[in-house]
Amino acid sequence: DAKTTQPNSMESNEEEPVHLPCNHSTISGTDYIHWYRQLPSQGPEYVIHGLTSNVNNRMASLAIAEDRKSSTLILHRATLRDAAVYYCILRPYYNQGGKLIFGQGTELSVKP
């Protein structure tokens, strides 16, 4: 499976935008880019996913580079509740068995 690289940690101020980068230089043409996040002492939750075009939902936006070798998760206004570990995961279109393989993720801290 293609791998992703994320910074270990990032800091943000409350109510400011946050850009969480993810590099996936070996991504294949049929890999979807998924983001999940894990709040402290909880199970992960789905955030967003995309293939080529930028995506928006109520939680975040996903900006995908034209060559698809990197992507950025954007939280438009960080809140204290957004402090979590954010995982960028590649999933092939024909995702065998549907399993997710988690990397180390980025631990986001939000300062009031």
Please, which of residues 59-88 interact with other proteins by CB under 8 A?
85, 87
Question: In angstroms, what is the minimal distance from the CB of 69 to other proteins?
Answer: 18
Among 12, 20, 35, 44, binds other proteins (CB under 8 A): 44
- As a whole number of angstroms, the distance between CA 50 and CA 90 comes to 10
Q: Is 82 helix (H, G, I), strand (E, B) or coil?
A: helix
- As a whole number of angstroms, the distance between CA 6 and CA 9 comes to 9
What does the block give as tokens for 89? 């995961």
**Residue 112 binding other proteins, by CB under 8 A:** no
**Contact in structure between 37 and 85 (CB atoms under 8 Å):** yes
**Residue 97 binding other proteins, by CB under 8 A:** yes
Question: In angstroms, what is the minimal distance from the CB of 90 to other proteins?
Answer: 9
- Which positions touch other proteins (CB under 8 A)? 30-32, 36, 38, 41-46, 49, 85, 87, 91-105
